Each structure stands twice: as structure tokens, then as C-alpha cells.
A = this chain, B = another copy of it.
Amino acid sequence: MSIFQGLSAFPITPADPSGRVDTAAVARLIARIAQAGVDSIGLLGSTGAYAFLTRQERRRTVESALEAAGGEIPVIVGVGAITTIEAVALAQDAKAAGADGLLLAPMSYTPLFEEEVFEHFATVAKAGNLPLCIYNNPSTTRFAFSRALISRLSKVENIVAVKMPLPSDEDFASELTSLRSTTGPGFKVGYSGDWGCPSSLLAGGDTWYSVVAGLMPSQALTLARAAQDGDALTVQRMDEAFKPLWALFKEFGSFRVMYMIAQILDLCVVDPPHPVLPLSDAARHRIVIALDHIDACNFDV
């Protein structure tokens, strides 16, 4: 099985206000995810605050996570950076530490042209020399990959998967057919945006790149497995349980909500990196209710 398949869990990366990562807390979060039996860990994704951390702290994070994962679960490392030279260094750091795969977003300041993104990805994929997933997330990077560019990148050595945003028309089936027709059989197509991902799995998507699974891996896995089994009724029932949380993800951004969930679940007490501010007590109250709503659904049935 490809490492870019099934449920991939994206934890937060707890750090102090100076930007120093709490590697003991990272190890706790990773061990918990590995124990739940999800299919991979998406370390240092957008949820993992990669864009806010220095190269040194990202290296410390990768090393502690790999040790905690203990080889039981593939660890995919986000290596996005504004310059190509930095992304190459991060990819080489991840490879040297023993990571299983890479996730690369076209992070940028100056809006990039397609050819620039192509060259950037080809350079990092070659230097990293690990299976690499294209991180297509226009809401944080402002770069939307065309079908033609994904197709072209899928022919580059080491580039084997794409993480897509939810299609605006929610028509996963035709998007999957269209993407697969130009990328070849081994190329994996997955989605992020938790509220739409169970549907993407039901429609035959390869991967759910999941924010919520970073802190609630068991519940997300139950939902993911039902979707992979094609059990639409169970998916619908469980998705109802998650709905209040999805609404909060949309309202506040899942990044901010995750820091609060970590506190509520007593996993770690850290704030997001400034300028991102911690959510208010009122928001916390609503998140507690949303988590209770999930608990009230019997996920073992």
C-alpha cells in the first residue's frame, strides 16, 4: 500500500512563545496517533505550523516524531518554504532523519507562475529523494494547481500523490476520473477539508488528509473506515456527530480550533504562534459542546 493512502493524521506542533518546539509533547501526540492505527502521520502540515517554525525546530520536530512513531506508521513531512533553497534543505533534513515521505506546498510571497512551481517541485523532489505529495491548498498558498500542471508533475520522479482541496461542486467522482485519466494508475489522489473528506472516500478518493485525526485519531479512523467500506449510512450518522465541529473549523479556521481541542482534551496547553491568537472563552465553550456531540455518538457500533 502507498504511504499516501487511507487516513493521514495531521497533528499540531506544540511550541513555546519563542518558537521552540516541545518535543516531549510532539512525542505524546505522535504515539497516540500511532496507537489508534491510522495509516500515516502528516507532520508539519499547515496544521503542524510548518510555516511558522525555523529549520532547526522543524528538524527537532521530525526527529522526535520519528522516534515516537517507532517505525509503526509512515511519517510524511511537510517541507514547504518560500525559497527553493530552504525547501531543498528541509527535504534533505527530513530524508536524513528517516522520514517516509514529503509533502510540499507552493508556499510563496510573490505570486508564482506555473513554470516556477514546476521547477520548484522538480528540484525539491529530486533533492529529497523520497515519495512526495503535492500539497494543493490555495487557501493558504494562493496557488491553484491546474490539471495540466498536476499531470506534468505526476511524471516527475518521486512525485506520486496530490492532496486536493474540496471541489466547489462537491463532485468528487468526476474530479477523480479526470485527474486519474492524466496522472497514471500509481498516482494517489486525496483530499483535505475534513467536512468533505468522508464523502471523498465514499467516492473512491485514495486519502483523507485529516486535521481532526491529529488530535482525535480513533473517532476519525472509525469514520474513515466506514467510508472506505462504502457504508454510506454509517458515514452519514457519524458525520452528523462531527457537524458542529466542522462548523467551528469553517468559522475559526481548523488551525485555531485544534489548539483549543488540545487543551480541552488535556493533551497540551499551548497557544498558536503569534500573530495567530488563541480563541476566546466563548469559542472554547462552543468547542466543548461540539466535542461532547461527538462523544455522544457511539463510534464503536
Shortest Cβ distance from residue A288 to the other chain B in the assembled complex, whole angstroms: 21
Copy count, this protein chain: 2
A277 touches B109 (CB 8 A): no
Question: Which residues of B sit under 8 angstroms from A108, Cβ to Cβ?
Answer: 275
Question: Which residues of B sit under 8 angstroms from A19, Cβ to Cβ?
Answer: 83, 85
B116 touches A277 (CB 8 A): yes
Known contacts A109-B140, A112-B276, A275-B108; A51 and B17 CB within 8 A of each other: no
Shortest Cβ distance from residue A109 to the other chain B in the assembled complex, whole angstroms: 3
- Within the assembled complex, what's the spacing in Å between the Cα atoms of A274 and B82? 9
Question: Which residues of B sit under 8 angstroms from A109, Cβ to Cβ?
Answer: 46, 51-52, 107, 140
A52 touches B276 (CB 8 A): no
- Within the assembled complex, what's the spacing in Å between the Cα atoms of A142 and B143? 12
* Chain B residue, CB-CB nearest to A108: B275
- Within the assembled complex, what's the spacing in Å between the Cα atoms of A29 and B44? 39
User: A18 at interface (Cβ–Cβ under 8 A)?
Assistant: yes
* Chain B residue, CB-CB nearest to A123: B274
B120 touches A275 (CB 8 A): yes
Question: Which residues of B sit under 8 angstroms from A168, Cβ to Cβ?
Answer: none
A17 touches B110 (CB 8 A): no
A-B contacts, 20 listed (Cβ < 8 Å): A17-B85, A18-B85, A19-B83, A19-B85, A46-B110, A51-B82, A51-B110, A52-B82, A52-B109, A83-B274, A83-B275, A84-B273, A85-B273, A107-B109, A110-B140, A110-B256, A111-B140, A116-B274, A117-B275, A119-B274
